[in-house]
Structure 1
Amino acid sequence: MKRSTLEIWVGLFVALGIAAIAFLSLRVAQGSPWGSSAQQTYTVYADFSDIGGLKVKAPVRTAGVLVGRVSDIQLDPKSYQAKVSLALDGQYKFSSDVSAQILTSGLLGEQYIGLVQGGDTEDLKAGDTITLTSSAMVLENLIGKFMTSFTEKNAQSSPGEAAASDAGQQ
């Protein structure tokens, strides 16, 4: 009798532990039907020429404060730009001239969208498109540009150095 009671308590404890881990995992992944997803949101769009490593459910921040999440990313077949859908928390209102840029947390951290409030008195409404956007800075592209400019500078300085050394030898 004591052994079966002990087994029941251990089984109950293990089941509660698994349920707690599942709950916390869903909360961290923002996939939980409880809490934050019950808030009212409105969707706005932003077009970017390059989104880098931006992913669905990436944070949307203003002044470091989480104000929404990326809800969808599509390729616009007409302009061939990435059309990003932003689900913004209903309690935050932005002006119609708000700007959006893709930023990175730290040097190699996750990418997120940063919103900078504009000065217009008219508010951004559901379904509007943010027109002032700045695409992601892709580290590989920056390194490539640096290497290209470094190579060009070396190539330009080499003929001049050769002419100067020829003049000094004469």
Structure 2
Amino acid sequence: MTMQARSMEFTVGLFVVAGLLALAMLALKVGNIHALNLGGTYAVTADFNNIGSLKPRAPVTVAGVRVGHVAHITINPTTYQAVVTLDLLKKYRFPRDSSASIETAGLLGEQYVSLSPGGSQHYLKNGGKIRITQSAIILEKIISQLLYSKAGHSSGHS
């Protein structure tokens, strides 16, 4: 084998490896998975009356910065509320009186959990609970209520 052929094989090999790495990074990004979570996480829960279309692995953010993800979602058999478990990065500590709300990215984007830090001197710990929550705003409900109220007003004037 000539030196030029070996150089060509090496170059092709580098491109294949770079392509596989790019594909793996794309798969992690699409799957909303972060491979380099070296600091670890701690779990807290929050109860919501309605989570809309929130899904496991959805981002948890503070001021637009990702600080964790939704680990899993269950239902409380007593209160019939959705119990959302959040895995928060250990490098971030949040006051015990922080609040959580379910937001939508853009008009029809994916839903995520937004945290608003409180002012307490005590912090949430592993197994802690966020007590102040705001459920998802369901766009379909708002539109149907708007249409229903408009229909009610227009039929009253006939």
Residue 32 of structure 1: how far off its partner (Å): 5.5
Q: Give unmatched runs, 5+ long, in structure 1.
A: 159-170
Residue 40 of structure 1: how far off its partner (Å): 2.1
Residue 26 of structure 1: how far off its partner (Å): 4.2
Partner of 1:168 in structure 2? none
The alignment yields a C-alpha RMSD, in angstroms, of 2.2
Partner of 2:102 in structure 1? 102
Question: Is 1:81 aligned to 2:81, yes or no?
Answer: yes
Residue 135 of structure 1: how far off its partner (Å): 0.7
Partner of 1:114 in structure 2? 114
Which residue identity does 1:56 align to in structure 2? P
- Quote the Cα distance in structure 2 between the aligned partners of 1:138 and 1:156: 27
Which residue identity does 1:134 align to in structure 2? Q
Residue 66 of structure 1: how far off its partner (Å): 1.1
**Residues 32 and 19 of structure 1, relative CA distance in 2, 3 Å threshold:** farther
Q: Deviations over 1:82-113 (max 9, x none)?
A: 11110111121111111111001111111111
Whether the 8 Å contact between 1:103 and 1:114 is mirrored in structure 2 is: yes
Whether the 8 Å contact between 1:26 and 1:32 is mirrored in structure 2 is: no
Partner of 1:16 in structure 2? 17
Name the structure where helix makes up a greater proportion of residues.
1
- Quote the Cα distance in structure 2 between the aligned partners of 1:41 and 1:59: 14
Partner of 1:129 in structure 2? 129
- The share of aligned pairs that are identical, in percent, is 37
Report which of the two structures shows the higher radius of gyration computed on alpha carbons: 1
Aligned length: 156
Partner of 2:90 in structure 1? 90
Residue 74 of structure 1: how far off its partner (Å): 1.2
- Quote the Cα distance in structure 2 between the aligned partners of 1:122 and 1:38: 25
Residue 24 of structure 1: how far off its partner (Å): 1.5
Q: Give unmatched runs, 5+ long, in structure 2.
A: none
Whether the 8 Å contact between 2:32 and 2:58 is mirrored in structure 1 is: no
